[in-house]
Amino acid sequence: MNNWNNQSGANIPQGVDRIFDACGIAAYINIDGRLEDGKKVVSMITTMKDRENGLGAGYAAYGLFPDYKDFYCIQLLLDDKQALVRVSEFLKTKVRIIKDEEVSTYCVPGIKKPYPLIWRFFVTPEKIDVNNEQDYMIRVVMGINIKVDGAFCMSSGKDMAVFKGNAWSDEVADFYRIQDYKAYMWLSHSRFPTNTCGWWGGAHPFNILDWSVVHNGEITSYGTNKRYLEMWEYKCTLLTDTEVVAYLFDLLVRKHKLPIYIACMAMAPPYFHLIDEVLDDKERELYNTIRRNYRPAMLNGPFSICVGSNNPVPTLIGLTDRKKLRPLVAADSKDGKSIYLASEECAIRIANDNLNEIWAPHSGNPVIVEVGKGVIWKGTETHLGNKELVITE
- How far apart are the C-alpha atoms of 102 and 75, rounded to whole Å? 9
In this prediction, residue 205 carries a pLDDT of 96
Q: Is the pLDDT of residue 264 over 70?
A: yes
Residue 295's nearest CA partner among 318, 334, 266, 323 is 266
In this prediction, residue 386 carries a pLDDT of 41
- How far apart are the C-alpha atoms of 166 and 172, rounded to whole Å? 8
Give residues with Cβ within 8 angstroms of 136, minimum separation 6.
Answer: 125, 128
Q: Is the pLDDT of residue 221 over 60?
A: yes
Q: Is the pLDDT of residue 98 over 70?
A: yes
Q: Which strand (E) or helix (H) includes residue 84?
A: helix 81-92
Mean pLDDT of the residues in the chain: 90
pLDDT class for 126, splitting at 50, 70, 90? confident
Q: Is the pLDDT of residue 20 over 90?
A: no
Residue 310: exposure state from Cβ atoms within 10 A (0-12, 13-18, ≥19): buried
Phi-psi region of 130 (alpha: psi -120 to 50; beta: other; left: phi over 0): alpha
For 139-155, what is each residue's pLDDT tens digit?
Answer: 999 999 999 999 999 99
Segment 68-82 shows an average pLDDT of: 97
Give residues with Cβ within 8 angstroms of 303, minimum separation 6.
Answer: 215, 216, 217, 218, 219, 320, 321, 325, 326
Give residues with Cβ within 8 angstroms of 320, minimum separation 6.
Answer: 268, 303, 304, 305, 326, 327, 328, 361, 363, 364
- How far apart are the C-alpha atoms of 130 and 164, rounded to whole Å? 31
For 363-385, what is each residue's pLDDT tens digit?
Answer: 999 999 999 999 999 999 865 54
- How far apart are the C-alpha atoms of 192 and 267, rounded to whole Å? 22
pTM value? 0.92
- How far apart are the C-alpha atoms of 115 and 25, rounded to whole Å? 25
In this prediction, residue 193 carries a pLDDT of 67
Q: Is the pLDDT of residue 72 over 70?
A: yes
**Inter-helix orientation angle 39-46/169-176, to 10°:** 160
In this prediction, residue 184 carries a pLDDT of 98
Q: Are strands 206-208 and 211-217 parallel, antiparallel or unpaired?
A: antiparallel
Contact 217, 304 (CB under 8 A): yes
Torsion over CA: 152, 157, 159, 163 (sign): negative
Spatial strand order of the sheet with 367-370 comes to 206-208, 211-217, 303-309, 315-320, 367-370, 374-377
Q: Is the pLDDT of residue 393 over 90?
A: no
pLDDT class for 129, splitting at 50, 70, 90? low
151 or 1: which carries more pLDDT confidence? 151
For 275-311, what is each residue's pLDDT tens digit?
Answer: 888 888 888 898 999 999 999 999 999 999 999 999 8
Which DSSP category does 22 fall into? -
Strand ranges in the chain using DSSP code E only, listed in sequence order: 24-30, 36-37, 57-62, 72-78, 96-102, 117-124, 151-155, 160-165, 182-183, 185-190, 206-208, 211-217, 303-309, 315-320, 329-333, 338-342, 355-359, 367-370, 374-377
In this prediction, residue 239 carries a pLDDT of 75
* End-to-end Cα, the chain, rounded Å: 46
- 3-class SS of residue 236: coil
- How far apart are the C-alpha atoms of 241 and 234, rounded to whole Å? 14
Give residues with Cβ within 8 angstroms of 389, minimum separation 6.
Answer: 270, 274, 322, 362, 363, 364, 365, 382, 383
* Chain-centroid distance, C-alpha 335: 27
Q: Percentages helix, strand, coil for the chain, rounded to the nearest 5?
A: 30, 25, 45
The lowest-confidence range among 46-50, 117-121, 260-264, 387-391 is: 387-391
In sequence order, the β-bridge partners of residue 97 are 123
HSE toward the beta carbon, residue 93, CA cutoff 13 A: 10
Segment 41-69 shows an average pLDDT of: 95
For 321-347, what is each residue's pLDDT tens digit?
Answer: 999 999 999 999 999 999 999 999 999
Q: Which fold has domain 25-64+159-377?
A: Glutamine Phosphoribosylpyrophosphate, subunit 1, domain 1 (3.60.20)
Q: So which residues are the catalytic ones?
A: 23
User: What are the extents of the domains in the chain?
Assistant: 25-64+159-377
In this prediction, residue 4 carries a pLDDT of 54
